[in-house]
Amino acid sequence: MALAEVTDDNFEAEVIQATGPVVVDLWAEWCGSCKQMMPAYEQLAGELEGKAKLVKFNADENPMTPGQFGVRGLPTLLIFENGKLLSMKTGAMTKTKLAEWIKETAPSVA
């Protein structure tokens, strides 16, 4: 499954105005941990389809949004539900840990 790319320009429409949980993966081309985690994130996006929307966000190409949320390192994952930021984590996670975190943070996904 190809993940949707979110940018500074469409963040409001794709994430803030979305109904239900949205997980945003902030990454960059130079970030080894980001690249290492991406296959697990893509698999999880397929598994959670219909329950949660998982998107990726290139932080280098879109600097406004990361600054808005105080992002200090990559990868950083944000979980929103109905426009509200529920949780933020920095650092790579395994697919299992990522799934657990999403389900704990946004119980509607479980």
Chain centroid to CA 23: 4
- Is 74 catalytic? The answer is no
Catalytic residue among 6, 22, 24, 31: 31
Angle at 76 between CA 74 and CA 78, to 5 degrees: 165
- Is 34 catalytic? The answer is yes
Q: Which residues contact 71 (CB under 8 A, 6 or more apart)?
A: 26, 59, 88, 90
Catalytic residue among 15, 24, 26, 34: 34
The catalytic site residues sit at: 31, 34
